Structure 1
Amino acid sequence: MPKGNDPDHPRLNVLLSNGRFPVSLDLARQLHKAHHRVYTVDPMEFHICKFSWAVKKSKETPAPATDPAGYIEAVKKAIKQWSIDIIIPLHEEIFFLAESNEPEIISRLYAPPFIELYQLHNKWEYTELLGRCGLDRPEAYFCTKPEDVEALDRSRDWALKPVLGRSSTGVQHIKPNKEVDYSSFELSPKNPHIAQEWLPGNRYCTYGVFRKGQMQAFCTYPVMETIDGSSSVFFEAVEHKEIEAYVRTLAEKLNLTGQLAFDMVETGISESDMERRGGKSKVHEEFEKRRRQNPNRDGAEPAPEADGNEYRLVSIECNPRATSGLHLWSQTADLANVITDRDMLLPSLRAETGKSRQTGPGMLMWERKNANFKRYVKHTCRLLGTKDLLWSWKDLVPVLVQPFLLASYYRICHDKGGMPLPEMFQSDVIWAPGMYGQSKKMGLDISRPLQETDPELVLRPRGEE
Structure 2
Amino acid sequence: MTTVDSIPVAISRFSNSVGEFHRVPPPKFEPLEYCRALARIVEENDVDMVIPVHEETDIIAMLAELFPPTCRLFLSDFDIENRLHHKYEFQELLVELGIPTRKFARVAGPEDAGSLDFDKPFALKRCYSRGSQKVHKVQPGDPLTWLEHDEQNPWVAQEWVSGDKYCTYSVCHEGRIYAHATYPVDYAIDGSSCLNFRSVDHPRIQAWVADIVKRVNFTGQIGFDFIEDGPDKDLFCIECNPRATSGIMMFSPEDGVDRAFLGTSDPDAEIITPAPGVDKMIGLGMMLYGWRAPSRNGRSFRQFARDFRGASDVITRSGDQKPAVLLPLAYAGILRSCVKYRVGLAEGFMHDHEWDGLRISL
In structure 2, give the amino acid aligned to 1:238.
V
**CA drift at 1:80:** 1.6
Which of structures 1 and 2 has the bigger CA Rg? 1
* % identical equivalent positions: 32
**How far apart, in 2, do the equivalents of 1:54 and 1:169 lie?**
32
**How far apart, in 2, do the equivalents of 1:140 and 1:246 lie?**
20
**How far apart, in 2, do the equivalents of 1:409 and 1:219 lie?**
28
- State whether structure 2 residue 85 is matched by structure 1 residue 128: no
Query: What secondary structure is seen at the aligned counterpart in 2 of 1:411?
Result: helix
**CA drift at 1:103:** 5.8
> Does the CA contact (< 8 Å) of 1:174 and 1:180 recur in 2?
no
Farther-moved stretch of structure 1 (335-344 vs 354-363): 335-344
Match of 1:359 in 2: 282
**How far apart, in 1, do the equivalents of 2:204 and 2:64 lie?**
37
**CA drift at 1:317:** 0.5
Match of 2:246 in 1: 324
**1:244-266 C-alpha deviation (Å, 9 max, x unpaired):** 12111111222111111000011
**How far apart, in 2, do the equivalents of 1:266 and 1:137 lie?**
12
Match of 1:71 in 2: 34
**1:319-353 C-alpha deviation (Å, 9 max, x unpaired):** 00111111221242511111122545743223334
> Does the CA contact (< 8 Å) of 1:149 and 1:195 recur in 2?
no
CA RMSD for the aligned pairs? 2.3
Distance 1:235 1:214, change over 3 A: same
Farther-moved stretch of structure 1 (347-356 vs 69-78): 347-356
Match of 1:393 in 2: 318
Distance 1:84 1:417, change over 3 A: closer
Distance 1:410 1:377, change over 3 A: closer
> Does the CA contact (< 8 Å) of 2:122 and 2:137 recur in 1?
yes
> Hey, which bits of structure 1, 4+ residues long, moved more than 4 A?
342-346, 370-374
Match of 1:375 in 2: 300
In structure 1, give the amino acid aligned to 2:126.
P
> Does the CA contact (< 8 Å) of 1:228 and 1:367 recur in 2?
no
> Does the CA contact (< 8 Å) of 2:110 and 2:144 recur in 1?
no
Q: Give the alignment of 1:424-463 within 5 angstroms.
A: 424-437=348-361
In structure 1, give the amino acid aligned to 2:200.
V
Query: What secondary structure is seen at the aligned counterpart in 2 of 1:408?
Result: helix
> Does the CA contact (< 8 Å) of 1:227 and 1:363 recur in 2?
no
Match of 1:341 in 2: 263
Query: What secondary structure is seen at the aligned counterpart in 2 of 1:128?
Result: helix
> Does the CA contact (< 8 Å) of 2:185 and 2:194 recur in 1?
yes
> How many correspondences in the alignment?
358
In structure 1, give the amino acid aligned to 2:282.
T
In structure 1, give the amino acid aligned to 2:90.
Y
**How far apart, in 1, do the equivalents of 2:49 and 2:255 lie?**
17
> Does the CA contact (< 8 Å) of 1:413 and 1:424 recur in 2?
yes
Q: Give the alignment of 1:41-440 within 5 angstroms.
A: 41-102=4-65, 104=67, 107-167=71-131, 169-177=133-141, 179-183=142-146, 185-269=147-231, 305=232, 311-341=233-263, 343=265, 346-364=269-287, 365-366=289-290, 368-369=292-293, 375-414=300-339, 416=340, 418-437=342-361
Distance 1:214 1:168, change over 3 A: same
> Does the CA contact (< 8 Å) of 1:157 and 1:175 recur in 2?
yes
**CA drift at 1:418:** 4.7
**How far apart, in 2, do the equivalents of 1:393 and 1:171 lie?**
38
Instruction: Specify which structure has the higher proportion of strand.
Output: 2
**How far apart, in 1, do the equivalents of 2:68 and 2:347 lie?**
28
Distance 1:424 1:357, change over 3 A: closer
Query: What secondary structure is seen at the aligned counterpart in 1 of 2:192?
Result: coil
Query: What secondary structure is seen at the aligned counterpart in 2 of 1:55?
Result: coil
In structure 2, give the amino acid aligned to 1:77.
R
- Where structure 1 has 5 or more consecutive residues not aligned to the other structure, the ranges are 1-37, 270-304, 306-310, 442-465
> Does the CA contact (< 8 Å) of 2:39 and 2:66 recur in 1?
no
> Does the CA contact (< 8 Å) of 1:227 and 1:367 recur in 2?
no
TM-score, normalising length from structure 1?
Answer: 0.72
